[in-house]
Amino acid sequence: MTEVNASIDFVPGFRVAGVAAGLKKNDALDMTLIVSDTPCVAAGVFTTNYVKAAPVLFDMEVLQGNKDHIRAVTINTKCANACTGDQGLVNAREMARQTAEKIGCGLDEVLVMSTGVIGSQLPMEKIGHGIDLAAGSLGSDWAVAAAGIMTTDTRPKMAAVAVTASNGKTYHIAGIAKGAGMIAPNMATMLSVIVTDVTLPIDTAKGLLQSASETTFNRVVVDGDMSTNDTLLLLANGVSGVTLQSPDDFTAFHEALAAVCRKLAQDIVRDGEGVTKFITLTVRGAASPEVAHQIANTIATSPLVKTAFFGNDANWGRIVAAAGRAGVPIDPDLVRLWIAPGETEDFNLGSLLLFTNGMPSGYGEEQATAIFKESSVSILLDLGMGLGSATVWTCDLSHDYVSINGDYRS
């Protein structure tokens, strides 16, 4: 397993800034700029919501025409620039244009991201001010850059790895992300930018990014809502001088990229709105991995399951009932359900069998409650019907989730 750092020291050839443009009150950081000194191979994975925000539509168009000389990403919080009509697209383009002008590159070399409230136009004066500030303060402070994209996140999210290639040279992969709410089973990225100084072939960048996100960002569930703005970008500037060539090099890159994505994805769940408990939920014994994933998502989005997590209640009945309504046949007599403290995939040691043969196992309620009182709990549901399995990371549904989302716009 690749060792992932929770901070980012330096990625050769990339400079970043996080600034307070006045979008948020009290001089809070609200805009981030990421610039590569040289052109990057780039790829993006975007929300599958039919209602796509203007920056998503803009980036998709840019990447259609330019996959190998992207220079910068400008990100603002507080306003999602979604459901903003033609003016929204004009503003997204203007945000890119002003960035391009400041750093000296073409309009089609800049990508943009927005997050925040739906339905307001970007305050372009503040955006312009933020771009000025950011372009003038570029450096290597990734913590500030990660803080600049936070909304209801309580802490910045960073991940970094260093990889030694087969030729002995080292390259880096580093990423920042924001999450907190509206995290859906499919494409649950919210906003994330991953940069690397390896040289990536144009044709494989998107495939590698999609593959890495499939088992990471696509496996986290906070509330099942998919945003209009979800975007995951990958920029590779090749400054390390390392070019992926052997199959082993590609495998190592893919693993390292997935490790960065997994760390960021899990951090999004851990810092989900109102989250008090981190759940690692594995469904196995399904007819296929897709079926396992479908059942895991149904369980992970069930309000009754999530409120039981919040109440430290080992209410396996709600988990089994949610599995039964996922739209795929299961046989309760074949189902077995275990729980274990912490994050584990080993359900032999210290785990507790709760349900088997269509009924409770005769476990001790005290022991079950003790496990559920942990801040991190692992659950294994074996359907006994096949070899498909899937793991998702999810969380509880708390009073604070309701408070945060009842008051969000005020």
Binding site for a second copy (CB under 8 A): 48-52, 80, 82-88, 117-120, 181-182, 184, 223-228, 301-304, 307-308, 310-311, 313, 315-318, 320-325, 328-333, 355, 357-360, 397-399, 401-403, 405-410
Tokens 């750093």 -> residue: 103
What b/e string do you get for 139-163 counting C-beta neighbours within 10 Å, with b at 16 or more?
ebebebbbbbbbbbbeebbbbbbbb
Sign of CA dihedral 185, 23, 89, 110: negative
> Nearer to a second copy by C-beta: 22 or 272?
272
CB of 324 to a second copy, least distance (A): 3
Cα 288 to chain centroid, rounded: 24
CA-based nearest residue to 162, from 120, 196, 121: 196
Nearest approach, Cβ of residue 247 and a second copy (Å): 37
Q: State the Cα–Cα distance between residues 384 and 45, nearest whole angstrom.
A: 34
Half-sphere exposure of 294 (CA within 13 A, CB side): 16
Distance of alpha carbon 171 from the chain centroid = 23
The encoded tokens of residue 374 equal 């942990």
Q: For residues 241 and 332, which CB has a smaller minimum distance to a second copy in the complex? A: 332
CB of 255 to a second copy, least distance (A): 30
Give the residue with the Cβ less far from a second copy, 123 or 317: 317
Rounded distance between C-alpha atoms, residue 301 and residue 307, angstroms: 11
Residue closer to a second copy, measured from CB, 5 or 120 = 120
Q: Which is nearer to a second copy, 54 or 111 (CB)?
A: 54
Contact 319, 379 (CB under 8 A): yes
Q: What is the dihedral of CA 234, 61, 110, 242, to 10 degrees?
A: 30
Helices 303-310, 289-301: inter-axial angle, 10-degree rounding:
60
Nearest to a second copy of 200, 221 (CB atom): 221
The residue among 219 and 318 lying less far from a second copy, judged by its C-beta, is: 318
Q: C-beta of 180: minimal distance to a second copy in Å?
A: 12
252's tokens: 């190592």
How do 31-46 and 70-76 pair as beta strands?
antiparallel
Q: Which of 47, 77, 115, 189 is catalytic?
A: 189
SS3 (DSSP) at 2: coil
**68, 41 Cβ separation under 8 angstroms:** yes
Assess contact for 47 and 56: CB atoms under 8 A: yes
Residue 3 vs 86, nearer CB to a second copy: 86
Helices assigned H by DSSP within 280-364: 289-301, 303-310, 316-324
Give min distance, CB of 2 to a second copy, in A: 32
| Shortest distance, position 191 Cβ to a second copy, whole Å | 15
Taking a C-beta distance cutoff of 8 angstroms, is the pair 62, 99 a contact?
no
Q: Quote the CA–CA distance of 177 and 184 in Å, as a whole number.
A: 15
* Cα dist from 87 to 22, 47, 110, 128, 240, whole Å: 21, 21, 19, 16, 40
State yes or no: is 189 an active-site residue: yes
Beta carbon of residue 188, minimum distance to a second copy (angstroms, whole number): 11
For the CB of residue 268, give the shortest distance to a second copy in the complex, in Å: 16
- Which are the catalytic amino acids? 189
